[in-house]
Structure 1
Amino acid sequence: MKMKPLFPLACAAILAVAASPAAAQVTITPYFWAAGMKGDVAPVAGLPTVETDSSFSDILDELQLGLASAFEVRMGQWAFVGDLSYVDTGVSAALKVPTTQFDSAGLDSKSLMSTLAMSYRVVDGDAASVDVLGGARLNWADNDVRLMRPDDTSVKANDDQFWVDPVVGVKAIAWLSPRWSLTGYGDVGGFGVSSDLTWQAMASVNYHFANGVALTAGYRYYAIDYDHDGFVFDVAEYGPLIGTSITF
């Protein structure tokens, strides 16, 4: 893929910040994201699209692995920022358009999403800060669909794809007191480059109980609409999150 040079560019940006004469400030925020999933999925052309609408409690029954984290490497007004989410799960599914050939469906879905961006602080006050950012979202999805016939036989189809989308966004932090702060984040991208549209929004409340350490709790919504050569990944993942933020 032509956009794969983003990987070495991202590494070069991190090294440039780390090698600066002034000390870089690094923040890492691993968190648990209790995400549900809703949307349409298809691995290959020629077979019916399946749709899923599963809450986190539904997904938890089949969850095999779920990881999420965010990071920031800051040097003054500039920062290299990113997030990473990986989910491996089985969810309930149904045929989007019922057919006489198939009467039910199942879905095993693996998805990886990582946003890498450079940000610039446009507001830097004691009570609040605002950053604008631009970068790329790296996406990988593996769709494993089972289509069941009325006679209890089935058809299985599997495919995976990797793609990259440009994104722009904004992040704001408001300090309520020395111990409490609010964080809001949003981005949008795709613009038809790979996905038709991708966007996410997150809001959290943070309790800073020790120097450089905070507990964070909030809500995150992530959506993507990707359709290429019969491979469909038009889904939204959403739910509460809780984690720990460490700055050093």
Structure 2
Amino acid sequence: MKATITALAIALLAAAAQPPPARAADMAPPEPSSDWRFTASAYLWATGLSGQTGVFGFPPQDVDISFADIWEKLDFAIMGIGEARKGPFVLGMDVTYSKLSADPATPFGILAQTVDVTVTSWMVTGAAGYAVLDTDELGIDLFAGGRLWSVQNDFALNGGLLDGIEADDGASWVDPLAGAKLRWNLTPDIYATGWAFIGGFGVGSDLMWDVMAGAGYKFTDNVSVFAGYRAASVDYSGDGFVYDVVEKGPVMAAVFQF
């Protein structure tokens, strides 16, 4: 499985070399231009997860899962960012998808001996922005947009009195969001960047936020690498499903500009 993830990471880096349509969260500083400019980033967010989750109307349970635990159960993941910029106007997108599976044994094995659990989740952000400051040294963009969340839990019981029973619970919702992104060229080759977003406001979730900060190194005008730290939170509940969690961990990325 880990070999599959390694192969996926290589494939993502190769795919990122093709010009994508957006840049919702640029991890490298753009050069001033009135032409269309595109940025694509394939990244790894080594995230852990903590908070509370609940399904089928049962009381929410505390969760605290490290990245090592998630990596062990990870079947597939994809993470990518893209941006298109023309003058001061920006369009962007950020996509993360993961699929995890586990088959824990039940305490007594009477109702079921094991439970196959599969969790799939999407976090897709689309936003439009405007550069309120854009110089060779410093840039600040203001953004507004939305984020689609989708979490699906599938359960299958094996053995015992309930052998063959399957069930699922989850939810999908959209949060409006607003925020800002900053980039700072420290030297011709080294830059710092970060963003902060807040949203939800009771429209989808009660509250969501997303912050990131880090630094990058430009090998060429078109290729750079980035390392930083990202944390995102969402507090959602509806129809007996609860998802009140914080995801946080280091971020590493390969960034391509055109």
Q: TM-score range by the shorter chain?
A: 0.7 to 0.9
Please list every run of at least 4 consecutive aligned residues from structure 1 whose deviation after the TM superposition is greater than 6 angstroms: 151-156
Distance 1:241 1:91 in 2: 25
Distance 1:152 1:186 in 2: 50
- Deviation per CA, 1:110-135, whole angstroms, max 9, x where unpaired? 21001101010011122110011000
Q: Which one of 167, 173, 186 corresponds to residue 196 of structure 2? A: 186
Gap regions ≥5 residues in structure 2: 1-20, 23-33, 105-114
The aligned runs of 1:81-92 (5 Å cut-off) are 81-90=92-101
Partner of 1:208: 218
Amino acid in the other structure paired with 1:187: F
Partner of 2:35: 23
Displacement of 1:204 in angstroms is 1.7
Q: Which one of 153, 169, 182 corresponds to residue 143 of structure 1? A: 153
Distance 2:213 2:161 in 1: 45
SS at match of 1:38: strand
Partner of 1:75: 86
Q: Does 1:163 align with 2:163?
A: no
Structural RMSD (CA): 2.8
SS at match of 2:74: coil
Amino acid in the other structure paired with 1:58: D
The structure that is strand-richer by fraction is: 1
Displacement of 1:243 in angstroms is 1.2
Gap regions ≥5 residues in structure 1: 1-12, 15-21, 94-104
Q: Does 1:173 align with 2:150?
A: no
The aligned runs of 1:95-114 (5 Å cut-off) are 108-114=118-124
Distance 2:221 2:40 in 1: 14
Displacement of 1:84 in angstroms is 0.7
SS at match of 1:59: helix
Displacement of 1:168 in angstroms is 0.2
Counterpart contact for 2:47–2:66, Cα < 8 Å: yes
Distance 1:128 1:61 in 2: 40
Distance 1:107 1:233 in 2: 17
SS at match of 2:69: helix
Distance 1:140 1:87 in 2: 11
TM-score for the superposition, normalised by structure 1 = 0.79
- Percent identity (aligned): 35
Between Structure 1 and Structure 2, how many residues are aligned?
217
Displacement of 1:145 in angstroms is 6.0
Counterpart contact for 2:155–2:167, Cα < 8 Å: yes
Counterpart contact for 1:54–1:92, Cα < 8 Å: no
Counterpart contact for 1:44–1:157, Cα < 8 Å: no
Partner of 1:125: 135
Partner of 1:220: 230
Partner of 2:110: none
